[in-house]
Amino acid sequence: MGQTVPAYGIVQSAKPHMKMLRGWNPLNPGLNRNKSLPTNGLTIASGQVISVNIVSSAEVWQIGVSASTQIPFFAYQDSDDFDVVASGGLTGVSTQDQNELQTAFFKASPVTVAYANGVRLKADGTTGDVTTALTTDRQTLGYLSRGTGPVDIAASNPGVTPDGSGQVLVLTIATDFQSNGATA
């Protein structure tokens, strides 16, 4: 997804694939979900926040979280990765399980609360991005861990095109889904 194939060298991606740092068991079918993608050709990138939607009586992935009753997941692969296309399903990593991961999909400058170690995080609506949460937010997907904000991983990711500042920024998130019952 968003890859440029050079005449020689390595394939360049616009954003890095989500990296699982701890806790994730890919063989746990209870918390990971493999579902077909929507028939409308929706493109999902690894690391985006996704949720389950019902279309024509079938469960499919949608980008972001559109209702306070939906549980957020993180897309493990890109929707156009070979293994997803061949199997017809995209793996979603549940925020109900306790994992630690890195994603490049986050709101760069949250207006509410600044990124800091331990700050609660939520899905930023239907964008597929993560942002900081207020105490009044209905649900959170986890908290920021290992740092005080976005971390530059450009040195260890030569296959990702750096931004205008020469950086490849990611957030490190510890998943810990919470629904506090507050009004949305």
Q: What is the per-residue pLDDT for 158?
A: 87
Q: Tell me: pLDDT of 176 over 70.
A: yes
Q: Give residues with Cβ within 8 angstroms of 129, minimum separation 6.
A: 48, 49, 64, 105, 106, 107, 123
Task: Please tell me the predicted confidence (pLDDT) of residue 11.
Answer: 64
22's tokens: 């701890």
Which pLDDT belongs to residue 182? Answer: 47
Average pLDDT estimate for 108-112: 81
pLDDT at 124 over 60: yes
pLDDT at 21 over 70: yes
The pLDDT of residue 184: 40
User: What is the C-alpha to C-alpha distance for residues 16 and 161, in angstroms, rounded to an integer?
Assistant: 9
Average pLDDT over residues 159-183: 86
Cβ contact 121:141 at 8 Å = yes
Contact between 114 and 92 under an 8 Å Cβ cutoff? The reply is no
Give the mean pLDDT of 19-42. 77
| 2 band by pLDDT with thresholds 50, 70 and 90 | low
- Please give the average per-residue pLDDT across 56-76, as a whole number: 90
Neighbour-count burial of 127, counting CB atoms closer than 10 A to its CB (0-12 exposed, 13-18 middle, 19+ buried): middle
Pick the more confident residue, 8 or 100. 100
Distance, C-alpha 5 to centroid of its chain = 24
Question: For residue 59, what are its two tokens?
Answer: 């469960």
Kindly list the domain boundaries of the chain, sorted by start residue. Answer: 3-179
Average pLDDT over every residue of 81-91: 84
pTM (whole model) above 0.85? yes
Phi, psi of 141 (to 5 degrees): -105, -5
